[in-house]
Structure 1
Amino acid sequence: MPKPAHTTPQQIALLQSRNMSFRNIADAPHFLANISYYRLKGYWWEMQDDFVNHHFQNGSFFEDAIDLYNFDRHFRLIVFNAVERIEIALRTKLIYHLSLAHGSEWYLNPALFDKQKEFAMFVSKIYNDMGRSSEEFIVKHFQNHPTEHPESWKGLEVLTLGTLSKLYQNLKHQLPEKNTIAQEFGLNNQKHLASWLLAITVVRNIVAHHGRLWNRVVINKYDWPPTPKKPLLTYVPNNYQRRKIFPLLSAILYMNNQVSPGHSLKQELFNLFAQFPNVQLAKMGFPADWQNEPIWT
């Protein structure tokens, strides 16, 4: 049976009946009027001592959930900017290396790709995306050159990180350009780059849809390079550790170091952690001595 909807005062009363405390209950209606009860639920979930009846531990404060929500909001923005640099670099490198080696329409050449079914799906998708695109350079291309395919530097501009990642993954392993791109991201193995890109796409989509990133379980399995070109972590995270954001965040930082030297990602994160000292980084998979790991020193 569907649960009944509650007014804001009823939501506050429900939380109080479940042992939630308020430092300033007068502010609670404002927060609940602008951040849904259900969204905040993800931030107070671990405050419970009974997950069936949703009873809260003693000392659980509504304002702590709000702080955690605000931390996560800033955290997502920082991560989104870092992923954007990776997306732009990947697009640039694909266009540059493959166009010089195989011509400006290489992305439509089936001989360069392993799985032909995936290639056919990609071609269908890119033409759908270009057909829907309102970008002036795409519109003008089809106006001025109606019988010509757009060059890769036009066509790939309308693709998402997810499509670009799958495009890279499906390139034939024997292509030297595929290995060159991996090397330029600081990885010796193109398989590791493809795996990282697909996992980072999952994170990017969570952020783009304003989903909770704090304490998020990363469901997409990804590989880890045992010997990266530059110092990363002193250990190879196991599959359980990779379910938390810390290893993937370290990978995002590592890739930013290669493609955007001088970025402020690490300092932005340090500042955020200092601003919200009560946030338990361990819940995000940060080890106790994470600041001593090579990528973070």
Structure 2
Amino acid sequence: MNPPGQHYDKPALNENDLIERYIERGLIITDRNRTARYLRHIGYYRLSPYTIPFQADRTTHSFRPDTTFDDILYIYVFDRQLRLLTMDVLERVEVAVRAAVSNTMSTHGEGGAFWYQNASNYQNRRGYSATIERIEDLIRRERQHTPSDRGEQADRLHYPDALSHYLATYSSPATPPSWLVIELLTAGELQHLYASLPLKYRKIIARELDLPDQVLQSWLKTYVRVRNICAHHGRLWNRFLGVYPAIPRSPTVRWLNDRSTFDTGNPRALERKRLYPVLVSLQSILFTISPHSTWALRLHTLLEKYHDIPLNALGMKANWDADEFWQEAFEACS
């Protein structure tokens, strides 16, 4: 890639200047003070992607007639609520995967509760080394940590976290058992750990979620991407994710009754690149780990509340909720 040749010279503008820019581009502002408050506490840059569907000209960024600031805010608030709902189910699934990995490896792997210290429990040396180095680094930092003030010192004395409690209580083994270690890993590290395990163990873990190993590997990689977007308050609506979940072919995997929804024969199909297949995959796992979850109903309620949101920007069809897959999810929580 050639280095960029342009010099960035756009000036920083205050809220009033930004409002004037909106007005010059044709956006209707009904309450300047309210708009200024949102710009101050959300930011012009963060709101910019939500203005794109309302632009008449992508070069001049002029708005279509009768577009208001509230139209932009409507999508922003919807996306925020969608992000929180997505993060909610990601948490459920991530916790279940952590438990499945730790439980399976502690009872089937070599070394019991300290299986992660045994190189034979990995496909190769790279996976083993990455896990051990990460854990040793966490322990080294914990041992070197000095409370910054008396309040923190008192908190750590009376309410120690699991790692500091282990290190203060036990002299051996030098590292904690699996069920503690697994909670120290980031979602990305958990995904890499799972991928580094031998197939025989991955199959057992995936079976806990009623999935084939290859499908779970793909979904975990996608979840890390979506989780990072959510954690950084990024946009889920009208976005290509960059990493996409595998569409299961096995009839044993809970999936949409209409399996043609995502055209697996066309890798360029836009529906596959947006959020909807991720939402379907998450509900598929919920059927196993939390069969009476209200998450699907809350998703439906959110989309009903914001009924003016273009669903195709999420990769969804207007009648998405008519599929038997979703009907079963709605009924399970009633």
Which TM-score band applies after superposition, normalised by the shorter structure? over 0.9
Greater mean alpha carbon deviation, residues 66-75 or residues 177-186: 177-186
Matches within 5 A, 1:246-285: 246-285=276-315
Residue type at the aligned position of 2:208: E
From 119, 124, 132, give the equivalent of 1:115: 124
CA distance in 1, matches of 2:136, 2:243: 28
From 231, 234, 245, give the equivalent of 1:208: 231
Matches within 5 A, 1:1-297: 1-102=8-109, 103-132=112-141, 136-148=161-173, 149-173=175-199, 175=200, 177-187=201-211, 189-233=212-256, 234-235=258-259, 237=262, 238=264, 239=267, 240=269, 241-297=271-327
CA distance in 2, matches of 1:93, 1:118: 18
1:58 Cα deviation from its structure 2 partner: 1.8
| Structure 1 unaligned regions, length at least 5 | none
Greater mean alpha carbon deviation, residues 273-282 or residues 131-140: 131-140
Residue type at the aligned position of 2:259: Y
CA distance in 2, matches of 1:242, 1:123: 36
CA distance in 2, matches of 1:228, 1:86: 21
User: Quick one: structure 1 residues 129 and 296, their matched pair in 2 at CA, closer, same or farther if it must change by over 3 Å?
Assistant: farther
Greater mean alpha carbon deviation, residues 106-115 or residues 202-211: 106-115
Equivalent position SS for 1:104: helix
Work out the percentage of aligned pairs sharing the same amino acid: 28
CA distance in 1, matches of 2:35, 2:61: 19
1:230 Cα deviation from its structure 2 partner: 4.4
Greater mean alpha carbon deviation, residues 281-290 or residues 247-256: 281-290
Residue type at the aligned position of 1:73: R
1:17 Cα deviation from its structure 2 partner: 0.8
CA distance in 2, matches of 1:263, 1:119: 36
1:33 Cα deviation from its structure 2 partner: 1.6
CA distance in 2, matches of 1:117, 1:288: 46
CA distance in 2, matches of 1:50, 1:146: 67
CA distance in 1, matches of 2:24, 2:9: 21
User: Quick one: structure 1 residues 56 and 143, their matched pair in 2 at CA, closer, same or farther if it must change by over 3 Å?
Assistant: same
TM-score normalised by length of structure 1: 0.93
1:23 Cα deviation from its structure 2 partner: 4.0
Greater mean alpha carbon deviation, residues 5-14 or residues 140-149: 140-149
Q: Deviations over 1:199-240 (max 9, x none)?
A: 011101111111111112110143221124244122252333
Contact 1:231 1:294 in 2 (8 A): no
CA distance in 2, matches of 1:90, 1:276: 32
1:67 Cα deviation from its structure 2 partner: 1.1
CA distance in 1, matches of 2:140, 2:303: 44
CA distance in 1, matches of 2:251, 2:80: 31
User: Quick one: structure 1 residues 136 and 289, their matched pair in 2 at CA, closer, same or farther if it must change by over 3 Å?
Assistant: same
CA RMSD, aligned part only? 1.8
CA distance in 2, matches of 1:228, 1:201: 26
Q: Deviations over 1:148-196 (max 9, x none)?
A: 12110111111122211111111111x2x42122122121x20110110
Contact 2:206 2:213 in 1 (8 A): yes
Figure out how many residues of one structure are paired with residues of the other and give that number. 294
| Structure 2 unaligned regions, length at least 5 | 1-7, 143-155, 328-334
Equivalent position SS for 1:49: strand
Contact 2:90 2:227 in 1 (8 A): yes
1:26 Cα deviation from its structure 2 partner: 4.3
Greater mean alpha carbon deviation, residues 50-59 or residues 265-274: 50-59
CA distance in 2, matches of 1:98, 1:109: 11
